[in-house]
Amino acid sequence: MATAKCLRSSVTYRPRFHLCIPLRAFPTSQHRHASSKHPQGFEPPTTSDLFELRERVQEFTRREITPEVASETDKSNSFPSEMWAKLGSAGFLGMTADEDVGGLAMGYQAHCIVMEEISRASGSIGLSYAAHSQLCVNQLQLNGTPGQKTKFLPNLIAGTQVGALAMSESGAGSDVVSMRTTAKEADGGYVLNGTKMWITNGPEADVIVVYAKTEPEKGSKGISAFIVEKHFKGFNCARKLDKMGMRGSNTGELVFDGVFVPKENMLGEVNRGVKVLMEGLDLERLVLSAGPLGIMQAALDVALPFTHQRTQFGSPVAHNQLVQGKLADMYTKLQASRSYTYETARKVDEGGDIRTQDCAGAIMYAAERATECALDCVQLLGGMGYVEEMPASRLVRDAKLYEIGAGTTEVRKIVIGRAFNKEFSSYAP
């Protein structure tokens, strides 16, 4: 399997607390039916493939995303730029991309594993990773022409360029169709004007998938997708945002002031941008749902040792039944969330079964549970949970993002409801 590309070193690392067991329980499927959402020649990975990959990612994070790196990334609100090349060298930036452009062609279970383990080490590095590898690389993989893939994917997968996706605007977040950025046809291409807000990797991105209205009067049927390159005249990042959490996952406001984009940089067909958007949206939600899993695991990594080391009234606080109750809740929330995410990903990999309600449900459930687990971690640490010597407060601030970014909890519930309406439309009177 392509996991061999990740086996780049054999260094002895300091141990980190583990609870990574669910993948061993997944039966190896006999079905080998990849969907159009997968790279060429894709075969679903076996249980052993996935377990080996998880070990390799854990080795990478122990070496490259140490607690000190995670803490400094948060405090400085600055992404460690050298991390992109390291992620690229490990093979992690092209999990779902074709091998002929440098990808690993491993699918969505594998992508979730990498996302979970990176987020376990640092939520903010994990978020930037997903914006690059899923929102940008996978969109190009799914919708790019052969020429676009050849031009953009090798550098993005190698980590020599940074990718992003620009959809939201200050007045068009959940209601993305109300975007105001326009793209007017010009000789040989289109001219973009407008702004985009809350764009992860925006301040450093070299390649950005941008949505704009080519025919505003047509509403959702007049939106197109474009590949904007950093050097295009008129494009700039107006400001970097100072966020409550996910600090260091550089986020900005992008400005397009008469940016000329050549026709060959249109992603998909003209006025079919919503199709491009929707093609990747379910998969985006699925892969991002692994971010909260990593944060929950990190909360247990902190709380379990601490509560067994910290003594009060002559015994470890973990011997207190109220403390045991919180630990039990944290553990079961993680395992339930992890099972939902990976079962959904397994169905995508093995049968091409992409269910909107499950992709939305997985991230909705995991995001809410992650916030709860992170808050419980703070409570279990007591006074130490409220000081910055411990990572508990960072976990709370990072976890909350997943209830807001990439579609709020409320929007996810609407998405699930609409999926049911579509599925059961024949029952309507």
The CATH number that applies at residue 145 is: 1.10.540.10
Geometric angle at alpha carbon 46, from 41 and 52, rounded to 5°: 110
**How many residues comprise the chain?**
429
Co-location of 140 and 35 in the same domain: yes
Angstrom distance (rounded) from CA 94 to CA 73: 23
Angstrom distance (rounded) from CA 378 to CA 142: 41
Residue 308 is predicted with a pLDDT of 97
Q: Which residues lie closer than 8 Å to 316 by C-beta, 6 or more apart?
A: 307, 308, 309, 310
For residues 392 and 357, is the Cβ–Cβ distance under 8 A? no
Co-location of 186 and 93 in the same domain: no
Co-location of 144 and 249 in the same domain: no
Q: Is the pLDDT of residue 27 over 70?
A: no
Co-location of 100 and 13 in the same domain: yes
For residues 192 and 14, which has the higher predicted lDDT (pLDDT)?
192
Query: In the structure, what pLDDT confidence band is assigned to residue 274 with cuts at 50, 70 and 90?
Result: confident
Co-location of 29 and 55 in the same domain: yes
Residue 33 is predicted with a pLDDT of 45
Give this prediction's pTM.
Answer: 0.91
Residue 172 is predicted with a pLDDT of 67
The residue-averaged pLDDT of 318-342 equals 98
The residue-averaged pLDDT of 206-228 equals 93
- Pairing verdict, β 251-262 and 223-229: unpaired
Note the pLDDT tens digit of each residue in 164-193. 999 988 876 666 677 899 999 999 999 999
The residue-averaged pLDDT of 329-356 equals 96
Which domain-ending residue is among 162, 177, 193? Answer: 162
Note the pLDDT tens digit of each residue in 290-310. 999 999 999 999 999 999 999
Catalytic residue list: 284
In the chain, the percentage of residues whose pLDDT exceeds 70 is 90
Which domain-ending residue is among 162, 184, 202? Answer: 162
Q: Residue 256: which CATH number?
A: 2.40.110.10
Residue 173 is predicted with a pLDDT of 61
Angstrom distance (rounded) from CA 140 to CA 265: 11
Angstrom distance (rounded) from CA 328 to CA 218: 52
Q: Is the pLDDT of residue 326 over 80?
A: yes
Co-location of 58 and 122 in the same domain: yes
For residues 195 and 169, is the Cβ–Cβ distance under 8 A? yes
Q: Is the pLDDT of residue 16 over 50?
A: no
- Name the domain count of the chain: 3
Which domain-ending residue is among 135, 162, 189? Answer: 162
In the chain, the percentage of residues whose pLDDT exceeds 90 is 81
Co-location of 232 and 294 in the same domain: no
Angstrom distance (rounded) from CA 134 to CA 217: 30
Structural domain span for residue 229: 166-275
CA distances from 72 to 88, 108, 155, 290, 417 (A): 22, 30, 27, 23, 41
Co-location of 200 and 108 in the same domain: no
For residues 9 and 58, which has the higher predicted lDDT (pLDDT)?
58
